[in-house]
Amino acid sequence: MLAVAEKVQMLHDEPTMKRASGPTSDVDRLSALPDGLLHTIMSFLPARQNVQTSLLSRRWRRLWRSAPRIEIDERDFGISVSTSSSTLEERWPRFENFATNMLLFHDNTSSLGEFRLRCRLHNWCHVDRWIRRGIEYCPSVLQIQILNYGLGVKLPPLVGSSSHHLKRLCLWNLIFDGRFADFLCSSCPFLEDMDLQSCDFCGIRPQGIISPMLNKLEMSHCSNKTGYPLVIMAPRLTNLCLTYGCYLAGISLCKMDSLVKAEIYIDENKTLSQKTQRELLGSLLNVTSLKLDGFEADAMMNENPDEFPTFSNMQTLDLSNCFLNEYELDYKLEALRSFIENAPCLEKLILQYCMFMSFSDSEWEIERKSMTLHPEDRYIYRCQNLKLIEVIYDHDHDHQLIELVWSLGISLPDASIKLNKIERWV
């Protein structure tokens, strides 16, 4: 009998039967700890070991099932970026079995603290189920990271009632349709922190991120594939980070009254059109600290004094990889001036690898031997509070750095300029 044979085998494997309790000095301290502490310990262990704790002793038998955190990660099963497809075929079924069964037997159905899923889209059917199951758990922290390098999976419809606990949402590589916007708007009243990476907003309706309590928003490499501008309306947003992506259909920030810190990284051709860039800058009124990467002179040039609003709170402006196109240095500085004159409180300006490319296009370009600088042409910027300008560069090509520093020095006589050479690609 198969079963009997196995039973016998098990007995052989475990030579000691029920173990007598040891000497009195060996007291079991671990099990005396309250459930909460044991759950905290288990939260440091990978999901597989969590389940395996059920074999330790009676106390631990059902403990994993009420743990406040579910974390399913394909890396626990040896599946990583570099796994070959044959190894994947071997390992994926085990991972799949584990994940499915774990979700089946986990008890904490109504108030899970965290649900984290990280896997690739090897079998859509199952992954989709796990996502749905995770959402049903009403966690406070929901993190779904699909690693499919190019393909996204459509986010399953998020039924409204289950998300009142949601405070932190982290989604990678998912495709949103119009329902996501509705969901955020109406069903996540307490959402504070959102992190989207490589997500796509698709569909024929205009979409947006409208969230009453959102505090921190990070969007990285997302794209807006609807024909309409993506609307972000988050009156409590203090921290915004927009990194690359594609918003050629537009993106507009509304009601950013609480915004304290904003970081925007763009790639001029792909991310935002120039018009959008200007609009975006215009909507960042209240920021205290602004970091821009990839902007060009045309976007920042403020010819008409009323075009840009006043950045009344801005104290730090950090520009990296800006003003790198072919225009004259004078024009670029003019654009910079026109921008920072709108920030009367500006105290610190940082220019990282700006104004000039640090390598030359052609090998035989001859460096200038002399340079003529005209002090009388210089216009003094009206920035009373600007005390520190930090210029970070890695290579001074054709003495452009000298020209830059000189121009800045003349235009902003009250500010001290700090030069820092930091290699970018070591």
Q: Which parts of 19-38 interact with other proteins (CB under 8 A)?
A: 19, 21-22, 26-34, 36-37
Element of type H or E holding 143 = strand 141-146
Kindly state whether residue 129 participates in binding other proteins, applying the rule CB under 8 A. yes
Handedness of CA 174, 214, 261, 115 (dihedral sign): negative
- Please give the Cα distance from 145 to 130 (Å, whole number): 12
User: At closest approach, how far in Å is the CB of 149 from other proteins?
Assistant: 20
Task: Pick from 81, 84, 104, 326 the residue near other proteins by CB under 8 A.
Answer: 104
Region of 58-66, 226-234, 325-333, 403-411 interacting with other proteins (CB under 8 A)? 58-66
Kindly state whether residue 101 participates in binding other proteins, applying the rule CB under 8 A. yes
Quickly tell me which residue has 């038998």 as its tokens.
61
Burial of 101 (0-12, 13-18, 19+ CB in 10 A): exposed
Kindly state whether residue 125 participates in binding other proteins, applying the rule CB under 8 A. yes
Q: Which residues contact 402 (CB under 8 A, 6 or more apart)?
A: 371, 396
Q: Taking CB under 8 A as the criterion, which residues in 265-294 touch other proteins? A: none
Kindly state whether residue 9 participates in binding other proteins, applying the rule CB under 8 A. yes
Task: Pick from 63, 70, 102, 287 the residue near other proteins by CB under 8 A.
Answer: 102
Q: Say how many C-beta atoms besides its own lie within 10 A of residue 11's C-beta.
A: 10
Instruction: Specify the residue, 123 or 288, whose C-beta has the smaller distance to other proteins.
Output: 123
Q: Which residues contact 74 (CB under 8 A, 6 or more apart)?
A: 80, 95, 118, 119, 120, 147
Element of type H or E holding 63 = none
Kindly state whether residue 6 participates in binding other proteins, applying the rule CB under 8 A. yes
Q: Which residues contact 259 (CB under 8 A, 6 or more apart)?
A: 237, 238, 239, 240, 284, 285, 286, 287
Kindly state whether residue 57 participates in binding other proteins, applying the rule CB under 8 A. yes
User: At closest approach, how far in Å is the CB of 163 from other proteins?
Assistant: 13
For residues 92 and 122, is the Cβ–Cβ distance under 8 A?
A: yes
Instruction: Specify the residue, 111 or 384, whose C-beta has the smaller distance to other proteins.
Output: 111
Region of 8-16, 166-174, 251-259, 307-315 interacting with other proteins (CB under 8 A)? 8-16
Q: Say how many C-beta atoms besides its own lie within 10 A of residue 202's C-beta.
A: 18
Instruction: Specify the residue, 46 or 212, whose C-beta has the smaller distance to other proteins.
Output: 46
Handedness of CA 411, 412, 416, 422 (dihedral sign): negative
Region of 39-47, 214-222, 268-276, 281-289 interacting with other proteins (CB under 8 A)? 39-47
The footprint of other proteins on this chain (CB under 8 A) covers a number of residues equal to 71
Instruction: Specify the residue, 95 or 172, whose C-beta has the smaller distance to other proteins.
Output: 95
Quickly tell me which residue has 């085990």 as its tokens.
94
Q: Taking CB under 8 A as the criterion, which residues in 206-245 touch other proteins? A: none
Kindly state whether residue 48 participates in binding other proteins, applying the rule CB under 8 A. yes
Instruction: Specify the residue, 6 or 365, whose C-beta has the smaller distance to other proteins.
Output: 6
In the chain, count of helices (H) and strands (E)?
A: 10, 20
Reduced to 3 states, what is the DSSP secondary structure of residue 292?
strand
Instruction: Specify the residue, 57 or 325, whose C-beta has the smaller distance to other proteins.
Output: 57
Task: Pick from 35, 49, 275, 307 the residue near other proteins by CB under 8 A.
Answer: 49
Q: Which residues contact 327 (CB under 8 A, 6 or more apart)?
A: 297
Task: Pick from 16, 85, 304, 372 the residue near other proteins by CB under 8 A.
Answer: 16
Q: Taking CB under 8 A as the criterion, which residues in 75-94 touch other proteins? A: 89, 92-94
User: At closest approach, how far in Å is the CB of 20 from other proteins?
Assistant: 9
- Please give the Cα distance from 348 to 388 (Å, whole number): 5
